[in-house]
Amino acid sequence: DAGVIQSPRHEVTEMGQEVTLRCKPISGHDYLFWYRQTMMRGLELLIYFNNNVPIDDSGMPEDRFSAKMPNASFSTLKIQPSEPRDSAVYFCASSLAGGGGTFGSGTRLTVV
């Protein structure tokens, strides 16, 4: 298995633009997590899905953030409109029930 695949690896965008981050989880994993990592706030759980259904989105910072999982092999995290304070590394992880997460390499987002 290729592991959790995230794209793009790097994204630079202007303030106000829409940004879409993508994640392909490991086949067979029924949990998918989106995390954000910054120097100031560390690693934050944004949202997680179980069997494609959002279970807890309390970590999503604002309505500008949205996440979807249309099927078991794909998820997106969208920011619209983006702001400079959204600049961070965004990680996707997937797991089986009760297991730890396998993380992707992350997307480094810079909003200028």
Q: How far apart are CA 37 and CA 9, in angstroms?
A: 14
94 near another protein, judged by CB under 8 A: no
φ/ψ of 14, rounded to 5, equals -90, 150
Question: In terms of Cα–Cα distance, which of 94, 55, 56 is closest to 74?
Answer: 94
What are the tokens at 14? Answer: 């202007």
Region class of 51: left (phi > 0), else alpha (psi between -120 and 50), else beta: left
Single out the residue of 60, 106, 109, 111 in contact with another protein (rule: CB under 8 A).
106
How far, in Å, CA of 100 to CA of 95, rounded?
6
The minimum distance between CB 43 and another protein, in angstroms, equals 5
Q: Which of 16, 55, 61, 84 binds another protein (CB under 8 A)?
A: 55
Closest separation between CB of residue 16 and another protein, Å?
27
Count of residues binding another protein (CB under 8 A)? 23
Kindly identify the residues of this chain, within the stretch 25-54, that bind another protein according to CB under 8 A: 31, 33, 35, 42-43, 45, 48, 50
Q: Which residues contact another protein by CB under 8 A?
A: 31, 33, 35, 42-43, 45, 48, 50, 55-56, 91, 93, 95, 97-106
